[in-house]
């Protein structure tokens, strides 16, 4: 199940949100070495504020095992402020396009259904909220995997080395066709979003 946490529900989901920041620390600080964002046992940056929307994959034991963050592209965001050089032309800054960052899955759950469930949750959330697409900076090796799962991925710039790996700025289109392809691939017929 995917739990959406927005400004209005931060207090109600404080425990899950804390788990999510701890998971981000495990992935982005301990595994990937992003020490600039180390806050003890959690990982945060300047975009963790009341404009952020968090999607948390919750298991049967109410533990957070996957996550991502969405942020308005009309505000200064990660690509516009730190990675504009990865985009050919103007950085997308539209009210119906959000930036997708901090996509991560707990060790032991990678390579399985959590990956698809997170993208299903992303697509459902966007469709419910009039969002036509998301931008992201991804590892280039993930693009064909994402396309194989049914996502519509458009490169916004060239392949570029970042931290020893090739990365790519991309745009994900969010529409009913993408949702249907993801559901078929996942073998899911209903919503993955928490009521």
Which two structure tokens, joined as six digits, stand for 48? 């963790």
Rounded to two decimals, the pTM is 0.94
73 half-sphere exposure, CB direction, 13 A CA radius: 23
Query: Alpha-carbon distance 100 to 18, whole Å?
Result: 19
53: left (phi over 0), alpha (psi -120 to 50) or beta: beta
Q: Distance between the two ends of the chain, CA-based, in angstroms?
A: 9
Digit-coded pLDDT (tens) for 3-58 = 999 999 999 999 999 999 999 999 988 787 767 767 788 989 999 999 999 999 99
Average pLDDT over residues 79-83: 97
Q: Which CATH superfamily is domain 2-186 in?
A: Gcn5-related N-acetyltransferase (GNAT) (3.40.630.30)
Q: Check residue 81 and give its pLDDT.
A: 97
Q: Compute the distance between CA of residue 29 and CA of residue 37 in angstroms, rounded to an integer.
A: 7
CA dist 91 and 10 (Å) reads 29
Q: What is the pLDDT of residue 65?
A: 97
- Give 121-173 pLDDT, tens digit per residue: 999 999 999 999 999 999 999 999 999 999 999 999 999 999 889 999 999 99
| Contact between residue 178 and residue 121 where contact means Cβ atoms under 8 Å apart | no
């Amino acid at each position: 199940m995917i739990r959406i946490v927005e400004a209005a529900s931060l207090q109600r989901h404080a425990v899950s949100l804390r788990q999510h920041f701890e998971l981000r620390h495990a992935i982005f600080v301990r595994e990937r070495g992003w020490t600039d964002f180390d806050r003890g046992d959690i990982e945060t940056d300047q975009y963790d504020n009341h404009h952020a929307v968090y999607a948390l994959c919750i298991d049967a034991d109410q533990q957070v095992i996957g996550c991502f963050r969405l942020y308005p592209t009309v505000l200064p965001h990660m690509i516009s402020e730190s990675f504009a050089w990865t985009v050919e032309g103007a950085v997308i800054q539209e009210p119906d396009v959000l930036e997708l960052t901090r996509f991560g899955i707990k060790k032991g759950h990678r390579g399985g259904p959590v990956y698809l469930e997170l993208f299903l949750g992303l697509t459902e959330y966007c469709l419910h909220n009039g969002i036509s697409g998301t931008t992201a900076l991804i590892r280039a090796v993930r693009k064909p995997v994402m396309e194989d799962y049914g996502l519509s991925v458009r490169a916004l710039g060239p392949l570029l080395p970042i931290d020893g790996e090739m990365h790519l700025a991309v745009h994900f289109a969010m529409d009913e066709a993408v949702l249907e392809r993801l559901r078929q691939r996942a073998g899911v017929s209903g919503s993955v979003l928490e009521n």
